[in-house]
Amino acid sequence: MSQQTASFAAGCFWGVEARFREVPGVIDAISGYMGGRTADPTYKQVCGGDTGHAEAVQVTFDDEKVSYAELLDLFFDMHNPTTLNRQGPDFGSQYRSAVFWHDEAQRDAVLGKISEINASGRWPDPVVTEVSEAPEFWCAEEYHQRYFEKNGGGYCHV
């Protein structure tokens, strides 16, 4: 097994985490916060929009069972990557579309995927997904982890 890490933000992290957990080869998916300036932020702080964090999911996967490219495909299929700081009814920079890369191969893969999507004409507007080196990941509070498994419900509106 070759264990890798990938980090994505695609709006509400509950649905993003649940979708990644369904993928064979995904070992774990954890809801949390990335890309901000406050150490160990709380949900309330992040929702206030002042920390700069995005609701994100850190995915641990076995790259012998699922590729990073396959995870990117799922990421770009689960949300609208052309809406700036908004997914469905949720708006603010904490709901932005972002890929936080962990190595240069991931960076190159996501930049290539964005170019491919933009050239395809799939969306009328260009992809605005933020692409940046993975900063520190802060786990969200326990009640956010596996939220739909604990509370029922479907995916967040994406």
Domains along the chain?
Answer: 3-151 (3.30.1060.10)
Rounded alpha-carbon distances, angstroms, from residue 54 to 85, 98, 115, 136, 137: 9, 8, 23, 12, 10
- The residue annotated as part of the active site, out of 12, 47, 139, 156, is 12
* Paired tokens of 51: 């920390």
149 vs 63: CA distance, rounded Å: 25
pLDDT recorded at residue 104: 98
Give the pLDDT band (50/70/90) at residue 141: very high
Residue 97 has pLDDT above 50, yes or no: yes
CA quadruple 98, 137, 151, 65: dihedral sign? positive
Q: What's the predicted TM-score (pTM) here?
A: 0.94
* Average pLDDT score over the chain: 94
Q: Please indicate whether residue 156 is annotated as part of the active site.
A: no
Tell me what the mean pLDDT of segment 50-59 comes to.
96
Report the first-to-last Cα separation within the chain, whole angstroms: 32
Do 34 and 132 meet the contact criterion of CB atoms below 8 Å apart? no
Tell me what the mean pLDDT of segment 53-76 comes to.
98
108 vs 79: CA distance, rounded Å: 21
Give the pLDDT band (50/70/90) at residue 158: very low
* Paired tokens of 128: 């605005």
Tell me what the mean pLDDT of segment 61-89 comes to.
95
Residue 157 has pLDDT above 70, yes or no: no
* Paired tokens of 119: 């050239």
Q: State CA 86 to chain mean position distance.
A: 13
150 vs 39: CA distance, rounded Å: 27
Q: Note the helical H segments in the chain.
A: 13-21, 43-47, 68-77, 104-120, 147-151
113 vs 8: CA distance, rounded Å: 14
pLDDT recorded at residue 156: 57
Tell me what the mean pLDDT of segment 45-64 comes to.
96
Number of C-beta neighbours around residue 157 at 10 A: 12
In total, the chain counts a number of residues equal to: 158
Residue 87, strand partner residues: 90
Q: Which residue has the higher pLDDT, 51 or 157?
A: 51
